[in-house]
Chain A
């Protein structure tokens, strides 16, 4: 299998607080992996390090064989940030928001061509928002906006999609739509997905691996292996803190 992401011995601290301690993990092409852990477990920090937004104190990260900041083909990584709240008066349409995600593929200074517009339309369709393309993004519901942001990340046809807490505060129906979009991406495009969350929600049954993080990696294996340890892999958000505590 082709390794798309490899973190080795990553540590990080804020002042005297150790946030990450010798964390190693990897992700192969076509894998659907969840990185879970309670609030404050270092998930978001690890994510920023993996994406090249923060430098680790020790250790190294490789994306497609390059360090994150030296990766030339940035389109290979799609990123859906946590809690992105658009300004309520932003006049941008859903299509314009999604098209912003295509810039990495085309080159940010170039005019879009027909294939760029087709990729944007396809990304919008893949998250079932085709009829909302010309609406203002601020008119979408929370779940619809989350899907639009996933479409934005998909527009550059990434080989690795990283999502930071994408289903926090999203209702059950929106979670199902979200799950369908991710499964579509993995199955149709063979992309790797790293889902960072403190809850698994509707995607628990579709995961290849679960990595449990609390400053260090507590568990890295299949969902079934996790349940064999006697820990229930909760479908609902409320179950997760229980099994995380049991794992200690």
Chain B
């Protein structure tokens, strides 16, 4: 693991229109690490991802991001009726390397094609993005991040709405990408997903805890503070689970 962290946050506060939506966020993400960003809906997960992306002004603290960030936003936000193919979406990752007046050419499309092969989507390169399944859309957006040569991947609720095979396939891909030395941030409210990561960062407006999943998730106090007390003990020693939060689709 390299000594230089890809993301280093110290007492970060960020939000919208002058009101902080998150505060006291301190963590660092190194090469090859997967960080689960755990919290209920409205707890500030997406806000933190947007702050890392440079989309939001930081009110306090310091946030240093020393790698290109590729983002995989929640799919319902990306426009499903937009007239682009999976290949077009992956090709968007090449723009940062081109001068503003140039459109991506053959070389850029070839790079995008290789990224689609990497995420096992080459056969659907010409399909309209909005007609792909949920898991296929996530993989097309990951291909876009690969084309960007992103050192950090930010995934916002990547598993929501996926069936089990698609979820497992995506999880394997995320594992491979971390294995290549990328840092991965996964916003989720799923404890099982969080357990599979190297680090867990719990937020509920402010940072509740950050550390290895074995420590953080063992502390009932942390989970109750993160989810507002909606924790249940599973019968028969099955561990703890969160009552499913109400889904608010923006």
Are the chains A and B members of one assembly?
no
